[in-house]
Amino acid sequence: MVKIIKIAVDLQGADRAPTELADGAFAALRDNKDLFLYLCGDRALLEEYMKNKGYSSERAEFVDAPETITNNEDPAEAFRIKKNSSLVKGMELCKSDPEIEGFVSCGPTGAIFVSAMMQLGRMANVSPMLLVELKKTDGSPICIVDCGANVDCRAEKLVDFARMGIAYMKAVGISDPSVGLLSNGAEDRKGSAVVKKANELLRESGLRFLGNVEGNGILSGNADVIVCDGFSGNILLKTIEGSAKAVIAELREMSAASNTDNDEIIRKLYSKYDHNTQGGAVLLGTKLPIIKGHGAATAETVYNIIKAAYRLAENDLADKIKNEFAPRTAALV
């Protein structure tokens, strides 16, 4: 008997229409025969769209939630008021059904965060944070933790982020992930007060800590997990994307000026550094992994982030996180 992987999908709160995003969900269902999706949104609208498109799946169920939480609302306020939103109803379902192994949304990060904290609750004593996976120059994966959830934070939290990052990298197939601490210099004595303290704590942690890493040592460096607070991580992530796109724009211009056909190269580079074609950010630290797609998500994004959630469920990410935080006393005796 094949195990079925159940994932809940919030189709609202992004820039594009829920029906457009639904295309990505149905594509994921077609490609993965052991996938079951709960699709949260305006049921009447979605059912009609599904009928018109000729989609059918025994492995999809609609969760009727006509309200939408947008990026223009105060997250806590929206959470309090909009109990019929796709986000809140989706999370409610996740809370009540322990078989659901992931939640996927392209809605506003703040509201997802509030909803996950309030409805699912945090795992152990960690502070939930956002992880983003990127590809290095050589094609191997790295992750950045935290990418924006914890803007001001204590050094101790950075060690928790490292542990969650390690669990994630194990779930994507890296056997003994190494950790680098984002700083303004490679030497241990470099960094803000918080970073210097985090360096000490990571040195004592027993984790495979390689030391500080700088902004120019991420995409071509050795660390699998890049640890930072949410402020620096957000700047790091957006700067990588922005700089790559700047170079690609210049390449496009120079190619046109010199009549060189670089269309295929440009397409490949762009897709590598474009948010929409990547796997999205992963909110870790609440009781369920949550995959957050970009607000400008397309059907392709939704397809990709459902696949990402599926892969993480398949590799028992939640268990791997628990293991990283399990007391190590037995091993020390």
Query: Which position among 23, 241, 300, 316 is part of the footprint of its own copies (CB under 8 A)?
Result: 241
Query: Which position among 12, 178, 232, 298 is part of the footprint of its own copies (CB under 8 A)?
Result: 232
The answer to the question of residue 238 lying near its own copies (CB under 8 A) is: yes
Largest CA distance in the chain: 69
CB nearer to its own copies: pick between 199 and 234? 234
Residue 148 beta carbon to its own copies: minimum distance, rounded to whole angstroms = 5
Query: Which position among 98, 121, 185, 206 is part of the footprint of its own copies (CB under 8 A)?
Result: 185
Binding mask 120-149 vs its own copies (x if CB under 8 A, - otherwise)? ----------------xx----------x-
Query: Which position among 268, 296, 319, 326 is part of the footprint of its own copies (CB under 8 A)?
Result: 268
Collapsing DSSP states into helix, strand and coil, what is residue 181? strand
In angstroms, rounded to a whole number, what is the distance separating the alpha carbons of residues 103 and 311? Answer: 13
Residues within window 43-102 making contact with its own copies, judged by CB under 8 A: none
In angstroms, rounded to a whole number, what is the distance separating the alpha carbons of residues 212 and 183? Answer: 6
CB 36 within 8 A of CB 100: no
The answer to the question of residue 209 lying near its own copies (CB under 8 A) is: no
Backbone conformation region of residue 229, classed left if phi is above 0, alpha if psi is from -120 to 50, else beta = beta
Residue 21 beta carbon to its own copies: minimum distance, rounded to whole angstroms = 23
Q: Which stretch binds its own copies (CB under 8 A): 154-162, 200-208, 216-224, 279-287?
A: 216-224
DSSP string over 16-78: S-HHHHHHHHHHHHHH-TTEEEEEEE-HHHHHHHHHHHT---TTEEEEE--B---TTS-HHHH
* Total binding residues toward its own copies, as defined by CB under 8 A: 53
CB nearer to its own copies: pick between 130 and 202? 130
Query: Which position among 254, 296, 323, 326 is part of the footprint of its own copies (CB under 8 A)?
Result: 254
Residues within window 143-182 making contact with its own copies, judged by CB under 8 A: 148, 151-152, 182
The answer to the question of residue 17 lying near its own copies (CB under 8 A) is: no
The angle formed by the CA atoms of residues 169, 271 and 113, to the nearest 5 degrees, is: 50
Residue 242 beta carbon to its own copies: minimum distance, rounded to whole angstroms = 3
Residue 217 DSSP symbol: G
Query: What is the enclosing helix (H) or strand (E) of 129?
Result: strand 129-135
CB nearer to its own copies: pick between 102 and 110? 110
Residue 2 DSSP symbol: P
> Tokens at residue 110, please?
């703040």
Query: Which position among 250, 319, 322, 323 is part of the footprint of its own copies (CB under 8 A)?
Result: 250
Residues within window 270-309 making contact with its own copies, judged by CB under 8 A: 272-273
Dihedral, CA of residue 216, residue 222, residue 224 and residue 226, to nearest 10: -30
In angstroms, rounded to a whole number, what is the distance separating the alpha carbons of residues 202 and 188? Answer: 11
The answer to the question of residue 259 lying near its own copies (CB under 8 A) is: no
CB nearer to its own copies: pick between 41 and 233? 233
Query: Which position among 19, 115, 234, 301 is part of the footprint of its own copies (CB under 8 A)?
Result: 234
CB nearer to its own copies: pick between 34 and 250? 250
In angstroms, rounded to a whole number, what is the distance separating the alpha carbons of residues 76 and 63? Answer: 22
Query: What is the enclosing helix (H) or strand (E) of 320?
Result: helix 317-325
Query: Which position among 59, 219, 287, 314 is part of the footprint of its own copies (CB under 8 A)?
Result: 219
In angstroms, rounded to a whole number, what is the distance separating the alpha carbons of residues 305 and 37? Answer: 13
- What are the residues binding its own copies (CB under 8 A)? 136-137, 148, 151-152, 182-185, 191-193, 195, 214-220, 230-232, 234-251, 254-255, 258, 260-262, 264-265, 268-269, 272-273
